[in-house]
Structure 1
């Protein structure tokens, strides 16, 4: 096993626990460290080349792992090495700039006395957990005292659980869309249905490859004691629940889209039925008016009585056709 020297950073407290931070300057590694009883949690948000240099100086990781950390298209996976464990996971994160869900990558190195997290985008669960470990000594002791495997579990578990509030929001959107459809706002919800379906598709693209990686993480035995198997099994159960909910949302969104199209089609059919009935009703009247408007001599020509006879005949014909159409349910 290669020697893994500890970072020579200034400690802010003495004793069994310590916290160290470097400012995120352009040429300075943005490394945050929380330490307790020999176990270090090193968090590097949005790693840059200066951070890679810091890692290469203090740890002996494989060059391909560094390429994976700085790659934008890395799939979720778990790689086991004799000296450490390398984990790549993706989690859904809402991007306010574009207004939709995107995949945030979290790279994790796990060793006998350290856990290194490298999120390529800010992940609220990781930030919240790290801040609690930084600011509360009792929580830091509880989190670090069970080893690197338990710390890894808490980080992954919190990130997985953060998906459920997002799923509840999607579920609420689908409920509101259903209400809008049956309240006569079908035209207005077409775009909303499309946006919600896109969110579900993006979520599924993130979760689908993640399931295999979480299964591999449950089966690995490096730095994860047997008594923690049940914890990682719980993460897998949560991941499966997320996938089942996404499958259900997919079916519901497709059903709502189909229902909305049926409602719009029904409304269009009603409009076409009325217009067709009006055209058919006016057709005989147009025929009568055309006959008596020809440039030939017709009965009652130049007679006021003949005019009223023609008008009366047209009114009777109009009333009869409307009555017949209404009895058949066409109007």
Structure 2
């Protein structure tokens, strides 16, 4: 991305922020900023940034105003913007929301400079939080992580976030196996909802992973500015992990579609079996119904009333009409090749 002029950013004072905040909302005196440093490299982690955190960023870093707007926005697509002295990266990762029981996309905004890396998740991302906690509590791990520069730190954050996807994929695979077993155990009608939920999870996962495949390729192209040459193979590994995730999702998509088709076929076969039984019952009862209908007519019948009178002309007319209708329907069915 070409260099852009840096207008002076209008600062928002804490007093003005406090005045704009409703009185019923508790005010914070300090922004929620977590920071760890080693050998001149700073890792700043800001979870769920609010106005106070954004004001702190504007005060301490001279980023482009559009980047601050992207941080405040909740509807950003994965992307990478290149500036003369830093990179701005937006990535999405799947996070399971227990409140609604489904996968959601968690956005991770990152600023990468020569001596700092800022991570700004819009909601806690477990692998990023865990990595930052280890870096804070373990001095040896902090030294091994931050001593290799911002490029290696960026690699570890993104790599751990992608590795976190594989256990989620394994759980989805186990769910597909259970659905396949249930289909052939006579629970085809009950698992229609399970198939729908699994299909929705796969669709959501694909929506999260697909747009950032191009971003990872752009990252591989622009990484030379902050990453030494011996780390190039690490970022190739991230691209490979992303492609493996996409291949698994493609496979799961085909599997769930096949399971859905198989389940519909099983339900159709069972409906056909039920119709076969009902048809057999109808055929068995049909002659009895025919006899009862004929002898229930209000005309002279053979063996009914006066034996000397015999059956009336109306009786024979009705029987003849029924035979003609039977032959006509039989001929029509043969014409349509239904028989």
Same fold (TM over 0.5): yes
| TM-score (norm. length: structure 2) | 0.80
Residue 290 of structure 1: how far off its partner (Å): 2.2
Aligned partners of 2:259 and 2:202: how far apart in 1? 14
Match of 1:47 among 40, 46, 49: 49
- Partner residue of 2:82? 80
Bigger shift: 80-89 or 247-256? 80-89
Residue 292 of structure 1: how far off its partner (Å): 2.8
Q: Deviations over 1:112-167 (max 9, x none)?
A: 11110000011000110000000000000000110010001000000011000110
Aligned pair 1:138/2:140, yes or no? Answer: yes
Residue 291 of structure 1: how far off its partner (Å): 2.4
Q: Deviations over 1:199-236 (max 9, x none)?
A: 00000000000111111111111211111110000000
Aligned partners of 2:29 and 2:285: how far apart in 1? 82
Residue 295 of structure 1: how far off its partner (Å): 4.1
Q: Say which SS state the counterpart of residue 104 (structure 1) adopts.
A: strand
Q: Which segments of 5 or more consecutive residues in structure 2 lack a partner in the other structure?
A: 7-25, 306-339
Aligned pair 1:272/2:279, yes or no? Answer: no
- Partner residue of 2:294? 291
- Partner residue of 2:262? 259
Aligned partners of 1:25 and 1:55: how far apart in 2? 18
Match of 1:232 among 219, 231, 235: 235
- Partner residue of 2:321? none
- Partner residue of 2:181? 179
Contact 1:85 1:222 in 2 (8 A): no
| Alignment of structure 1 residues 1-331 onto 2, 5 Å | 26-220=28-222, 221-296=224-299, 298-301=301-304
- Partner residue of 1:10? none
Residue 190 of structure 1: how far off its partner (Å): 0.2
Aligned partners of 1:33 and 1:290: how far apart in 2? 92
Aligned partners of 2:84 and 2:300: how far apart in 1? 110
Q: Which segments of 5 or more consecutive residues in structure 1 lack a partner in the other structure?
A: 3-23, 303-331
Q: Say which SS state the counterpart of residue 277 (structure 1) adopts.
A: helix
> Aligned pair count?
281
- Structure 1 vs Structure 2 CA RMSD: 1.7
Q: Say which SS state the counterpart of residue 210 (structure 2) adopts.
A: helix
Which 4+ stretches in 1 moved above 3 angstroms?
A: 24-27, 293-302
Residue 46 of structure 1: how far off its partner (Å): 0.4
Q: Say which SS state the counterpart of residue 62 (structure 2) adopts.
A: coil
Q: Say which SS state the counterpart of residue 188 (structure 1) adopts.
A: coil
Residue 296 of structure 1: how far off its partner (Å): 4.6
Aligned partners of 1:44 and 1:187: how far apart in 2? 47
Contact 1:34 1:41 in 2 (8 A): yes
- Partner residue of 1:306? none
